[in-house]
Structure 1
């Protein structure tokens, strides 16, 4: 019988390498002893002979390993893959590797709980179909609301994205769009105007009124506002470090997300107010306090704000609306979507996109509508518009005359 393959001792590695060539492929495998290497080579020869005889098609060891892995994956249950391969990381860490805040971890556990109640939870990972997912999504009662439904769907989509990337499934059955979430009533509240903010500020107690500008200018959440300490303010660099939030009882905790933990630049007028609020205090004292200087809770500060907003004629406002007010003002100054994402400190880019579109959409559409009307219908100027245009023209004329005088003087 013709010799099949070879077994070579490799002194440098103190091992035996079995080797043979078939269909143009060089197949090798390393063993600790010659006997095992020869046994493997004999089994491979049997496969090659079976292929030549037309009994069983030959495939390389690497291809056989992939087939075995695929068969094993087909046996993997969806629940086992989620709990063993996906959940341990997803429950505790964000996409950038940073650890999730306590509140975010709690929400992730909630969404995982919703997913674990799906009827296909114990189906094979490769056996779940698009029809199964559509049937699961059709029952809103499974989730307790539109938002948990969307978040749980996004969790399912992420699970299958990982499974596809790892080769655990050939393709994802999650082919539909994420379920829509109706806009919350709070999201539809118009942002506060500058005059309204001034009125609210004036109506609040002296020790808490600065919170209005911390929310409306720096885009801070109420929990972040009550957690600001004197040591977080740097008067030399005019920056404010945002590194804590408040729990339900007013105690200190991490910010809502890792992206919320940042250092915000502070404009000059607000900087003076912060200086005044910090005057005479110790580094660990809080910037916003009760009237007696003690730590104020989010609920107590919210009470102050709610009373003042009624006096300002905006009973519909929430303290959180100040964040939308800040984004709107930023867009009106020319902030781009990228700027908005950074300023808003949103962990979810979609939140920034929605905020940006809300802030820029209505006013921009009005500008476009006014421009079209002026082009097609003409425009009858008002007295105020004419006076403003005359003043601008006079100023421009004065500038031109000044330049002309200077030029004549040089030519003399």
Structure 2
């Protein structure tokens, strides 16, 4: 149990993938499994088994949705050859949006599959089913191109969940995207704090809460551009203009409130 807890703590501390890292991993993957990393990061945050289990019939490109219906594993005893089986939980069965940017890549991948009679979306070089270990090994090699030896395929799922929340999705929407039925699972294991976003959010919060204080306008001004009046007259005028603008906005708000009828 202690070992499992240590492993879980280590996995939970891995930061999400950045756009630049994802791009480098994508380009370092073999062509026939390359799209797996974009799909896992951007469409439903799929588990590696769910990615391997995708079929061409799961993609509704007209309505831009992906139906996640099965997973590839080694069976209930985790032994034997790879096989198509059930999803991890009942909640894992879900339909998720396909972003517009992925539609052309999906169409191209479907057309380039060597065996059009085989309905598997990612086709194995040997056998009918792409096993998890093959895809995982591809990812482990490709992550070196991003300079992120700590990454796991699961981190793409973590990245999807984290970005959904940062970009405005509710907790319920994020849970539905991942196929979770318990809030604790999403919050504890899949969301990460992003320092850059924390700073941006703090700046936006402070700008809103302090917007009524005109004395802070000058302090928040950017430095005057090079080449302006050496005495700083242009910078002073800009500061004064911003200050007057904030005072005007403040006075207008006060006047509007005073103009409201009582009761």
- Tell me the TM-score normalised to structure 1 length: 0.45
Residue 198 (structure 1) aligns with: 23
> 1:319-338 alignment to 2 at 5 Å?
319-338=153-172
| Residues 228, 356 of structure 1: alpha-carbon distance in 2 compared, 3 angstrom cutoff | closer
Residue 244 (structure 1) aligns with: 70
Residue 224 of structure 1: CA displacement? 0.5
> 1:162-181 alignment to 2 at 5 Å?
none
Residue 225 (structure 1) aligns with: 51
Residue 272 (structure 1) aligns with: 104
**Comparing both chains, which one has the higher relative contact order based on Cα–Cα distances under 8 Å and sequence gaps of 6 or more?**
2
- Tell me the TM-score normalised to structure 2 length: 0.69
Residue 380 of structure 1: CA displacement? 5.2
Unaligned 5+ segments in structure 1 are 1-143, 149-180, 385-389, 391-412
| Residues 208, 383 of structure 1: alpha-carbon distance in 2 compared, 3 angstrom cutoff | farther
| Aligned partner of 2:88 among 232, 239, 256 | 256
Q: Is 1:378 aligned with 2:219?
A: yes
1:126-167: per-residue Cα shift (whole Å, max 9, x none)?
xxxxxxxxxxxxxxxxxx34879xxxxxxxxxxxxxxxxxxx
Q: Is 1:367 aligned with 2:210?
A: no
Residue 36 (structure 2) aligns with: 211
SS at match of 1:358: coil
Residue 215 of structure 1: CA displacement? 0.8
Residue 209 of structure 1: CA displacement? 0.4
Question: Alignment length, in residue pairs?
Answer: 209
| Residues 256, 239 of structure 1: alpha-carbon distance in 2 compared, 3 angstrom cutoff | same
Residue 236 of structure 1: CA displacement? 2.2
Residue 291 of structure 1: CA displacement? 4.8
Residue 332 of structure 1: CA displacement? 2.5
1:53-102: per-residue Cα shift (whole Å, max 9, x none)?
xxxxxxxxxxxxxxxxxxxxxxxxxxxxxxxxxxxxxxxxxxxxxxxxxx
Residue 347 of structure 1: CA displacement? 3.1
Contact 1:246–1:252 (8 Å) recurs in 2: yes
SS at match of 1:240: strand
Q: Structure 2 CA distance, aligned partners of 1:182 and 1:189?
A: 11
1:204-239: per-residue Cα shift (whole Å, max 9, x none)?
111000000111001111000011111222222222
Q: Which of the pair has more CA radius of gyration?
A: 1
Q: Structure 1 CA distance, aligned partners of 2:62 and 2:106?
A: 12
1:330-363: per-residue Cα shift (whole Å, max 9, x none)?
122211112111112113221123357535x755
Q: Is 1:287 aligned with 2:128?
A: no
Contact 2:15–2:192 (8 Å) recurs in 1: no
Residue 134 (structure 2) aligns with: 300
| Residues 371, 231 of structure 1: alpha-carbon distance in 2 compared, 3 angstrom cutoff | closer
Q: Structure 2 CA distance, aligned partners of 1:264 and 1:333?
A: 16
1:33-65: per-residue Cα shift (whole Å, max 9, x none)?
xxxxxxxxxxxxxxxxxxxxxxxxxxxxxxxxx
Q: Structure 1 CA distance, aligned partners of 2:93 and 2:62?
A: 20
Residue 201 of structure 1: CA displacement? 0.4
> 1:334-353 alignment to 2 at 5 Å?
334-353=168-187
Aligned Cα root-mean-square deviation (Å) = 3.1
Unaligned 5+ segments in structure 2 are 75-80, 211-215, 226-237, 239-263
SS at match of 1:331: helix
